[in-house]
Amino acid sequence: MTHIDAYRSRLKTAEEAVRGLKSGAHIAMGMATAEPPALLGALADMAEKGAIDDLKLWYFHSMDHAGETVLRSDLLGRIRPRCMFLSTIERKLLGAQKAGTKSPIEFVPVAFSDSPRLFSEQVSLDLFVTTVSPMDKHGWFTFGTSNDYSTTAARSAKKLVVEVNPNMPRVFGASLLHVSEIDAIIENDIPLAEVHAPDTSPEEATVAAIIAGMIDDRSCLQMGIGALPGAVCALLNDRRDLGIHTELMTPALASLIQCGAVTNQAKTTYRGRSVFTFAMGDRAFYDFLDDNPAMHSAPVDIVNDPRHIAKNRNVVSVNATLQVDLGGACNSEHLLGRQYSGSGGQLDFVRGANASKGGKSIIACQSTARHGTVSRIVPRLDGPVTTPRNDTHIVVTEYGWADLKGKSLSQRADALIGLAHPKFRDELANGL
């Protein structure tokens, strides 16, 4: 059988592709822009009709397609989310939760780097669904914007169903999937979900300028999600021979490649290529990724492995946090008594940058929240520790930066109080 024949024999409608799924099954979906809209719609229809119940849905970072289908509030009795990183979809569902009722979202704490192992060793998946790029003439698809845990989950699940979308970029790297590995194929030509960078506040612009001043020529960059990393990238156009080894690839990082600031020639691993595990952006960004041999997609257990990150010199990791206590511990995932996001890959890159020769791990935040009424520098964290104080290196707010390495607890407290908003400094100092 040729690969064309194999493709045709597996081609089905979305409804046909998920037919036979049993109640109580464990399924996982591709994350972010790899969510397969038609397949998720078919699963939602089955739940709405009562054809399936108690469906355990595993995933990181949902977007609108999931919110409009499998994460609809009226289906959460039959579909039970096992979420490992909350987005606005889950926060809205949790916000509507009635007092005293069971949470509609089961949050599963796990490092992003450990998620492939979760699916290969700890969760027995009955089904994995994701969006892939079209098959080439040799019978190979790619996982496109979402390598992350998808390459492992796809090969660990009892059944693999893919949604082929011609708008999904074809990427280079360890992202190939052969038609012989797939149980069912559906086709769906719709635009990919787009993500646009939020506006930068004046405080974030100040923080970005401080961070950009720490990034030298030949640094290897990891940038987190949000307005701040984009603002930092916008200030690096005059750097030379930057490299990229990042969890998330964004238009802001792509712009540094396009302007020539990133060459990846100073890297130790994957020299000449920008390494990432998932990507989100706009249409122009997806076009940039498509068939671009300078972009290297790899699974998250490789990209986020601190030992692998540290092989490069001068790694600069930039991530945001919600709170920093006076010892330097960071809560980057819990807000107002609720889980807000997840640990993601922050600690992976904090440790990777710390272990890199000449590396800098930077944790950044505005000094206040809630329109200046709450300090983000606090005596004690209100939630879990995302980055332990032993690992925190550089903390930045709009009032400056502090290198915590080698400092005692009292020295750390003094330095961090200096980064707090002036109106909270006396209160913080008196609380020591």
Is 54 in the same domain as 174?
A: yes
Q: Which domain holds residue 267?
A: 202-430
CA-CA distance, 109 to 34, in Å (whole number)?
22
Is 365 in the same domain as 256?
A: yes
| Count of helix runs (H) and strand runs (E) in the chain | 16, 27
Q: Is 247 a catalytic residue?
A: yes
CA-CA distance, 48 to 78, in Å (whole number)?
8
Examine the fold and report which residue of 162, 187, 212 is the final residue of a domain before the chain moves on: 187
Instruction: Say which of 90, 163, 203, 247 is annotated catalytic.
Output: 247
User: What pLDDT digit, counting tens, does each position of 351-385 carry?
Assistant: 999 999 999 999 999 999 999 999 999 999 999 99
The CATH number covering residue 375 comes to 3.40.1080.20
| 252 alpha carbon, distance to own chain's centre | 15
Is 363 in the same domain as 249?
A: yes
Is 44 in the same domain as 169?
A: yes
Is 134 in the same domain as 270?
A: no
Is 273 in the same domain as 151?
A: no
Q: Say if 197 falls within a structural domain.
A: no
State how many domains the chain has. 2
In contact, 65 and 193? CB cutoff 8 Å: yes
How many other CB atoms are there within 10 angstroms of residue 321's CB atom?
21
What's the whole-number average pLDDT of the chain?
95
The CATH number covering residue 76 comes to 3.40.1080.10
In contact, 350 and 329? CB cutoff 8 Å: no
Examine the fold and report which residue of 135, 155, 187 is the final residue of a domain before the chain moves on: 187
Is 139 in the same domain as 254?
A: no
Is 115 in the same domain as 226?
A: no
At residue 197 the predicted structure's pLDDT band, cuts being 50, 70 and 90, is: confident
- Percentage of the chain exceeding pLDDT 90: 91
Which amino acid is present at 282? D
Is 125 in the same domain as 68?
A: yes
User: What pLDDT digit, counting tens, does each position of 30-66 carry?
Assistant: 999 999 999 999 999 999 999 999 999 999 999 999 9
CA-CA distance, 430 to 410, in Å (whole number)?
13
Q: Say if 48 falls within a structural domain.
A: yes
- Residues linked to residue 90 through DSSP beta bridges, in sequence order: none
Is 212 in the same domain as 177?
A: no
pLDDT value at 123 more than 70? yes
User: What pLDDT digit, counting tens, does each position of 235-283 carry?
Assistant: 999 999 999 999 999 999 999 999 999 999 999 999 999 999 999 999 9
